[in-house]
Chain A
Amino acid sequence: MGHLDIGSIFKQESDVRDTYDCVIIGGGPGGLTAGIYAARGGLATLVLEKGVEGGTLNFTPVIENYPPYSSIVGMELAQKWSEHAERMGVTILHEGVVEVSFFGENLTVKTDQGRTIAGKTIVISTGSSYRLLGLPSERRLAGKGVSYCALCDGALFKNKKVAVVGGGSSAIDEALYLAQTAGSVTVIHRRDQLRAEKALADKAFQNPKIRFYWDTVVVDIEGEQSVESLLLENVKTKERAREPFDGVFIYVGLDPSSGCFKGVLDMTEDGFIIADPHTLETSVKRVFAVGDVRQKEVRQIVTAAADGAIAASFIIKKYF
């Protein structure tokens, strides 16, 4: 039997205070690691998580590059991580942050339950969320054959013909997962080679159920009640072809979850928060950004964790 979630998501939080030394927004690998370091440094630490602790780990079937696990189920790593944080004394509250107000040393966040919490320091670790292809038909057929979560919906396409759009590591991850149950998996990628990690790509090339359409984009997703076919275009020859599919899983990139910090913190045009590379402090003093939400080169679990450690250590050193 697979891993059992013994579930802290429904745990009740009785004693939430109004003020913490360190308020962390987002409980993925970056936020939880910042929490572990902050709590061990003696700071009263709160993590606010609007979804599931462990963040994106929960949506990753298996992880093979977070040392020293040569292979670990994402859900299991997520659970270990949140247990670790709680054992170190981090309080985890299941509420999402909808608004922030940063004035001088007055740093407060407002949650979707209407709670206002102040932090002497703030760590933003909200990660990113999947990007849409941007087709009108994609919205219409979302949940009806168009999916962004292979782990959730993959099992519903047993022996079916599915497509995966994208060529990065997460797309290939998902293609390999889907190939365990689907009849066939077609990876549709707009370039002529994968961006994915070589170890993953090699696995996919060797998998007899997975095939590749290079230089190809999805122009339209077609179907009345559910996905029936894809209209594809070769970007080089401009040739178009229609092909039947039962489902399409989209992994064309991630957008930073930084909406509620717009106009408050310096960001790149794409919405990634800019932080000092040595300390991870943002354009506002006492406010830090770690993990996938910040501007950086390598967005991985191990680098998110490292960011968390760096920010929390600097916070302890400079502000407490």
Chain B
Amino acid sequence: MPLLKEKDQQAVRERFAKELKNPVKINFFFSREDTSEETRITGELMDEIGGLSEGKLDVESIEGKDSERARRLRVDKMPALVIYGDGDERDNIRFFGLPAGHEFATLLHTLITVSNDYHVELPDALVEKVRAIDKPVKIQVFVTTSCPHCPPAVVVSHYFAMLNPMITSEMIEANQFDDLSRRYGVQSVPMTVINEGKQTFIGSRKPEELYNAIEKAL
């Protein structure tokens, strides 16, 4: 049984046909010991959307954190999705946990943006500022999949990572990574954590505000 309903398959297929340009790689990292429903579904969902992309999305499932690829792409927890353009092997646009519900929209948008030469929708002045960041930044956006205001928070964070390889952006499904959620006291989503807690904020903020928070964290 496919995960996507017939009608949704059609909508995704059409959107991909219209909006995907360059090939995109989806690396799905999982651990064999992890038998959870969410992890199984993540893998199946990626295969399914790969099949709707006319070969534009290249989905690869990779077992184990200790694999060579996981090390190269700095995958420190699983299940994980690392998304990059064909031939660039960037490691800084990441999803941890099942991107279902509202986060499915985030995933589709991320794939399409990567596919269109990482062309982000941000004001030029801000693009310049984000590109100028010269220290490592890690942005973790905790979400739940039923949260309607979460997608914009993840998308903006991913945009920042697309603009600058010094920035790593992670969507983290708060329930699947409850230890991490507990560490940062996540009780409301979206919650954004910058550089392991140097700065945190709750809610979807304007892109400029994310930039200001990063500046404060550095």
Q: Which residues of A contact B (CB under 8 A)?
A: 1-7, 9-10, 12, 51-52, 58-59, 61, 75, 142-145, 147, 149, 151-158, 225-226, 247
Contacts and interface: CB of A to CB of B under 8 A. Distances in A.
A153 B100 contact: no
A10 B105 contact: yes
A53 to B, nearest CB: 10
Counting chain A CB atoms within 10 Å of each CB, the highest count among B103, B104, B109, B188 belongs to B188
Given A143-B191, A147-B187, A156-B187, A59 B105 contact: no
B149 interface: yes
Interface stretch (B65-73, B77-85, B124-132, B140-148): B140-148
Interface string B95-121: 000001111111011000000000001
Q: Say which size band chain B's interface belongs to.
A: 35 or more
Nearest to A227: B187
Given A51-B148, A59-B148, A9 B105 contact: yes
Given A9-B151, A10-B109, A152-B144, A4 B175 contact: no
Contacts of A12: 121
Contacts of B15: 6
Contacts of A3: 101
Contacts of A157: 187
A301 to B, nearest CB: 16
Interface stretch (B4-12, B28-36, B55-63, B163-171): B4-12
Given A4-B101, A155-B144, A225 B185 contact: yes
B188 A75 contact: no
A151 B146 contact: yes
A2 B100 CA distance: 8
Contact of B105 (A5, A154, A225): A5
B217 interface: no
A190 to B, nearest CB: 25
Nearest to A56: B148
A158 B101 contact: no
A172 to B, nearest CB: 19
Nearest to B152: A9
Interface of B: 3-4, 8, 11-12, 15, 41, 100-106, 108-109, 121, 144-152, 155, 174-175, 181, 185-189, 191, 202-203
B187 A144 contact: yes
A284 to B, nearest CB: 31
A155 B104 contact: no
A75 B155 contact: no
Contact of A7 (B108, B121, B185): B108
A158 B121 contact: no
Nearest to A2: B101
Contact of B148 (A58, A154, A158, A226): A58
Nearest to A246: B187
Contact of B104 (A5, A51, A149): A5
A263 B181 CA distance: 45
B187 A1 contact: no
Contacts of A10: 105-106, 108-109, 151, 155
B21 to A, nearest CB: 14
A153 B103 CA distance: 15
B41 A1 contact: yes
Contacts of B12: 6
A95 B8 CA distance: 26
Given A6-B8, A51-B149, A75-B148, 12 more contacts: A5-B151, A6-B12, A6-B104, A7-B108, A59-B148, A61-B146, A144-B188, A152-B144, A152-B146, A153-B188, A156-B188, A157-B187
A142 B149 CA distance: 16
A155 B177 CA distance: 12
Contacts of B103: 5
User: Top 4 nearest A-B pairs by Cβ distance?
Assistant: A7-B105, A143-B188, A143-B202, A152-B147
B101 A153 contact: no
Nearest to B44: A1
A96 to B, nearest CB: 12
